């Protein structure tokens, strides 16, 4: 549905902090913090996830699933693939 990385990116695009996001979607600050700290797809209470996605949508955020085409215009970002690990390379 939504990944932790998408959530952090959405919040950055909106220029809001975790507290503001929590208020916008009627969730607690610790809930938002747990969501953002998770790995991969956010798991949790369905009602909480729906509130989160609806609040982001109302703020103008379009969540794009992997491989999906954006249905609306506007600027955005998308991670093409996971970034390569440093793997002991020095620069």
For 9-41, how does the pLDDT look when each residue is reduced to its tens digit (9 = 90+)? 999 999 999 999 999 999 999 999 999 999 989
- Cβ burial of 15 (10 Å; 0-12, 13-18, 19+) is exposed
Task: Please check whether residue 53 lies inside any domain of the structure.
Answer: yes
pTM of the model: 0.79
Task: Please check whether residue 86 lies inside any domain of the structure.
Answer: no
Average pLDDT over residues 58-75: 80
Higher pLDDT: 49 or 62? It is 49
Counts of helices then strands in the chain (DSSP H, E): 4, 0
The tens digit of pLDDT for each residue in 33-54 reads 999 999 989 998 999 999 999 9
The CATH number given to whatever domain includes residue 14 is 1.10.260.40
Query: What range defines the domain where residue 8 resides?
Result: 4-79
Task: Please check whether residue 49 lies inside any domain of the structure.
Answer: yes
Task: Please check whether residue 22 lies inside any domain of the structure.
Answer: yes
Average pLDDT over residues 53-72: 86
Instruction: Give the Å distances, CA to CA, from 79 to 18, 29, 71.
Output: 22, 26, 17
Task: Please check whether residue 85 lies inside any domain of the structure.
Answer: no
**In the chain, how many domains are there?**
1
């Amino acid at each position: 549905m939504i990944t932790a990385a998408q959530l952090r990116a959405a919040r950055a695009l909106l220029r809001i902090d975790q507290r503001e996001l929590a208020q916008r979607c009627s969730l607690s600050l610790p809930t938002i913090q747990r969501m953002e700290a998770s790995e991969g797809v956010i798991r949790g209470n369905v009602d909480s996830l729906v509130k989160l996605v609806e609040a982001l949508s109302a703020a103008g955020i379009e969540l794009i699933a992997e491989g999906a085409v954006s249905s609306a215009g506007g600027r955005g970002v998308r991670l093409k693939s996971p970034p390569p690990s440093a793997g002991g390379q020095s620069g």
